[in-house]
């Protein structure tokens, strides 16, 4: 019995040894196979790399790994950046003699007051400058207002006035009554706007005419109908404009509209019992400029430039309906690099329309002429607070100047 057990143990040990030898052999063969595949891949990669080097030397299409391509791209980007950039000195110093900001026309703009005023290096220094432009911006990180002194070449500078609408000024385009809304919303507020164009904007434009490459005005829509006979535009460069005849036709068309025969505010309406407040504002919003109050076709009327400004035959109109690309291309073709931006309204059209600063600042050096703008002012009898706040907010990412901070350099 004992001999049988010994024999069985010997057989089991021999079996285990055989299995172990087989596993070692199998793994060895797999390793040899894997090694051969790796060698084959390395050979192929080496041949590919060699072909790429030959192709590169011959001038044909190169064939490199992603890592090599990325390295070359980064080198090219760094090279281009060095060619198109310079290192700006952002050192700030305390301004020992700060000028008042936006204090010249307090009826239209409340002054900006901040105890921390700093000076920084110029941002724009054109060759052969004829305009000295002081400008400021606000930085929360710097804890105050930062001012720069810039020198602009007028041949590279355009003045753009956003949306100087000719409304309630005798040309025919008017605020619809009894409850219609247009431009600064009400006839009373539009009269304040007209005073601003006459007291602030007109003297500013007249002082700098001849000092810049162009003066341009942006308007809603396009040049058709009637306005092409009155104003030049990028699509209408004709020097043979019959402005007198065109203005007569324009005014006649505007005066045909029935401005005084529109609906009054709603006398009564149904409200939800569960959400009466929400429903109230849905049925009777604070601003509604649709057909009910303004009349059908009101927003298709050809809005003119305000009559208080002196428009010359050289001045250009940029239409929102033609898009920003046309405006950008027109200005770039004229070699414009700097923009003095004025117009209406500071918190709306000056910012977001085709010729607004949100678009222009991507392609040009934009200086917002703060006191030559005016913001909408709901719930207020004066625009000065709303304009000041709108400019303060804009100053986070834009340069603000003002009419008295732009001077002519006399050689």
Closest CA to 215 of 166, 150, 157: 157
For 26, list phi and psi in degrees, rounded to 5: -60, -45
Question: b/e string for 101-120 if b means 16 or more Cβ within 10 A?
Answer: bbeebeebbbebeeeebbbb
* Residue 138 CB partners (closer than 8 Å, separation 6+): 114, 144, 145, 146, 392, 395, 396
Q: Tell me the H-state helices in 59-128.
A: 66-84
For residue 186, count CB atoms less than 10 angstroms from its CB and return exposed for 0-12, middle for 13-18, buried for 19 or more.
middle
Helix (H, G, I), strand (E, B) or coil at 329: helix
Residues 144, 359, 152, 371, CA torsion sign: negative
3-state helix, strand, coil in the chain (%, to 5): 40, 20, 40
Closest CA to 128 of 409, 404, 364, 403: 409
Residues 182, 184, 186, 188, CA torsion sign: negative
Closest CA to 318 of 300, 305, 335: 305
| Residue listed under structure tokens 């308007």 | 219
pTM over the 0.85 mark? no
Chain mean position to CA 296? 32
Give the C-alpha separation, 398 to 139, whole Å: 11
Confirm if 124 and 390 have CB atoms less than 8 A apart: no
Going from the N-terminus, what domains does the chain have, and what CATH number goes with each?
155-381 (3.40.50.850)
Instruction: Say which DSSP state 85 is in.
Output: -
pLDDT digits (tens), the chain, 411 positions: 556 666 766 776 676 677 767 666 665 565 555 455 445 444 443 443 343 444 333 344 334 444 444 455 455 545 555 678 899 999 999 999 999 999 999 999 999 999 999 999 999 999 999 999 999 999 999 999 999 999 999 999 999 999 999 999 999 999 999 999 999 999 999 999 999 999 999 999 999 989 999 999 999 999 887 899 999 999 988 666 788 899 999 999 999 999 998 999 999 999 999 999 999 999 999 999 999 999 999 999 999 999 999 999 899 999 999 999 999 999 999 999 999 999 999 999 999 999 999 999 999 999 999 999 999 999 999 999 999 999 999 999 999 999 999 999 987
Copy the structure tokens of residue 8. Answer: 């069985």
């Amino acid at each position: 019995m004992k001999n049988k057990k010994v024999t069985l143990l010997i057989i089991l040990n021999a079996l285990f040894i055989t299995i172990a030898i087989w596993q070692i052999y199998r793994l060895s063969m797999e390793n040899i196979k894997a090694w051969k595949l790796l060698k084959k891949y390395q050979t192929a990669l080496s041949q590919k790399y060699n072909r790429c080097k030959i192709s590169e030397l011959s001038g044909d299409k190169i064939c490199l790994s992603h890592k090599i391509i990325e390295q070359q791209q980064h080198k090219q980007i760094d090279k281009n950046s060095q060619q198109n950039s310079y290192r700006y000195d952002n050192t700030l110093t305390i301004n020992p003699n700060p000028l008042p900001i936006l204090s010249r026309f307090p009826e239209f703009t409340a002054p900006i007051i901040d105890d921390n005023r700093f000076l920084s290096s110029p941002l724009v220094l054109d060759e052969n400058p004829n305009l000295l432009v002081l400008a400021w911006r606000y930085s929360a990180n710097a804890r105050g207002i930062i001012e720069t002194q810039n020198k602009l070449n007028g041949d590279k500078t355009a003045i753009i006035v956003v949306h100087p609408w000719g409304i309630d000024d005798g040309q025919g385009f008017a605020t619809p009554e009894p409850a219609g809304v247009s431009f600064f919303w009400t006839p009373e507020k539009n009269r304040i706007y007209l005073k601003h164009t006459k007291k602030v904007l007109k003297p500013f434009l007249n002082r700098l005419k001849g000092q810049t490459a162009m003066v341009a005005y942006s308007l809603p829509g396009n040049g058709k109908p009637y306005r092409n006979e009155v104003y030049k535009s990028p699509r209408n460069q004709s020097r043979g404009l019959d402005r007198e005849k065109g203005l007569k036709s324009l005014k006649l068309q505007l005066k045909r509209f029935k401005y005084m025969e529109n609906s009054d505010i709603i006398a009564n309406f149904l409200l939800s019992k569960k959400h009466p407040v929400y429903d109230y504002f849905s049925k009777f919003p604070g601003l509604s400029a649709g057909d009910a109050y303004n009349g059908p076709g009101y927003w298709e009327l050809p809005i003119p430039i305000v009559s208080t400004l002196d428009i010359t035959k050289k001045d250009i109109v940029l239409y929102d309906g033609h898009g920003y690309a046309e405006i950008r291309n027109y200005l770039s073709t004229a070699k414009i690099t700097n923009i003095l931006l004025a117009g209406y309204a500071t918190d709306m059209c000056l910012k977001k329309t085709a010729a607004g600063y949100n678009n222009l600042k991507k392609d040009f050096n934009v200086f917002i002429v703060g006191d030559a703008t005016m913001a909408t002012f709901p719930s207020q009898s004066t625009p000065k607070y709303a304009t000041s706040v709108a400019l303060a907010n804009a100053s986070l990412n834009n340069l603000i100047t003002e009419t008295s901070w732009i001077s002519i350099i006399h050689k």
